[in-house]
Structure 1
Amino acid sequence: MNAQTGKIQPLIVRTISDQLYGILREQILSGALAADQPIRQDALAAELNISKIPLRETLARLEQDGLVVAHAKRGFTVATLSTDEAEEVFELRMRLEPEAAARSALVATVEDHKAAKKSLAELEAAIRQEGQDHSLYNRLFHLSLIQPGAGRLTCHLLETVNVIADRYVRLHLNTQGRDKRASEEHRQLLKAWIDRDSERVETLLKHHISDTLHDLRNQLGTGNR
């Protein structure tokens, strides 16, 4: 995207699918494409100067990620936020993420520690910038605690789940004071992780994810099933 014009730039044919996937995914996660908003394929293909074939392929990938919904004869719309999905996504995280992070704590190297510290510093810097969306940095920090000890499939699954969770994290952090609480929890979690205290890592992360889900239940309410 051109920073001056705000227009999406034409894509290089060699990497068109991945670039298009990245552009649309970030537009959905950032809210630029709002929930329930139709994806106007003709207009988007014209703006990007591409055919609709790679666009349809990209939308199919985004559907697998749970970010768009396909409708018979009506194309695609951006998926809505719902209590049911929040429950499923955050319960999956609670089942997989704490154990994976605890296992990684036992095998993480000094370089892994540096990478996790860097991720947390970037997250906290983003939080300090007023109006800066920091949910992406939140996701990257969480994934940095998983990657050293997780296998390829586990990393892929947790990255996908965290991408879906990203929109809910943005909603959660919109409430004043929650980013301060989250930062303190992140610091405690990182310290336990670097100290190789796997049991504490697992406990802290379970509480961290569970508290977020509790807040989201109240925000979304029973009307958004």
Structure 2
Amino acid sequence: MSIVTRTLADQAFEVIRERILSARIPPLSPIRQDALAEELGISKIPLREALARLEQHGLLQSHPNRGFVVPALTTTEAEEVFALRLKIEPEAAAHASLEADEAERATATAALTALENATGGDGRAMVLLNRAFHLALVRPGGRHVTSQLIERLHVLAERYVHKHLEPAGRHARAHREHRALLKAWMARDPQRVTTLLADHITVTLDDLRKQLRGTATATAPAKARRSVQE
């Protein structure tokens, strides 16, 4: 039995990550390091380590003389991340469906069960479990570089997945799509896996386009007022 020790930086990383994903720290907000370190009861050294990791995950951006800022959710970034997923993930999952052994098939099934059981829970858990399910579909077969690339894309997509699941009914639809995808994957039907996963990613991106367009429209007047006042 191994004991996993969570450092102060690990704990700070998880707390701040959850706040960003849940929009408690909204897009374009600066990170006030002094206040945050005091609130969390830690020094700036582990806090900076956590912030640097969050930047690597695409959840923060650092700017000279400004520190760390939560990046905006943009259609441009969503288009890029989900387009890359479309190029890599469906074929990878199709290949993995043919290569998966019984243990890996059980892992994929358990991942979907955990995701479905978390519906209605905290958003952070949903996003992490969604990623775990998708990665369980691409890892079998020994394509380690491909799996790592897909995992990186899922990390970059996390805020967008959280945003996508906000409207009512999205969880139920996602579960239907996931169940159909897992059924095809378990049947070792690569063509259907490719089609279903490509459709799943495409529909998510289409939804995000509409959501992000609406967000941009809603915030435009406020930005204009600030420009006038300044």
TM above 0.5, yes or no, is: yes
**1:167-206 map, 5 Å:** 167-206=159-198
Contact 1:119 1:137 in 2 (8 A): yes
**1:1-225 map, 5 Å:** 15-127=7-119, 129=120, 132-133=122-123, 134-221=126-213, 224=216
Q: CA deviation at 1:212?
A: 0.6
TM-score w.r.t. length of structure 1? 0.83
Match of 2:220 in 1: none
**Structure with a larger share of its residues in helix:** 2
Rate the CA distance shift 1:36–1:211 in 2: closer, same or farther, 3 A: same
TM-score w.r.t. length of structure 2? 0.82
Separation of aligned partners in 2, 1:26 and 1:144: 23
Match of 2:227 in 1: none
Separation of aligned partners in 2, 1:84 and 1:55: 30
2:118 match: secondary structure: helix
Q: How many residues align structurally?
A: 211
Q: Which amino acid aligns with 2:18?
A: E
Q: List per-residue Cα deviations over 1:171-218 (Å, max 9, x = no partner).
A: 112222222222111111001111111121111101100111011111
Using the TM superposition, name which of 69-78 and 143-152 deviates more.
143-152
Rate the CA distance shift 1:192–1:70 in 2: closer, same or farther, 3 A: same
Q: CA deviation at 1:25?
A: 2.5
Percentage of pairs with the same residue: 53
Q: Which amino acid aligns with 1:96?
A: I
Q: Which segments of 5 or more consecutive residues in structure 2 lack a partner in the other structure?
A: 218-230
Q: CA deviation at 1:112?
A: 1.3
Rate the CA distance shift 1:76–1:144 in 2: closer, same or farther, 3 A: same
Q: Which amino acid aligns with 1:116?
A: A
Q: Which segments of 5 or more consecutive residues in structure 1 lack a partner in the other structure?
A: 1-11
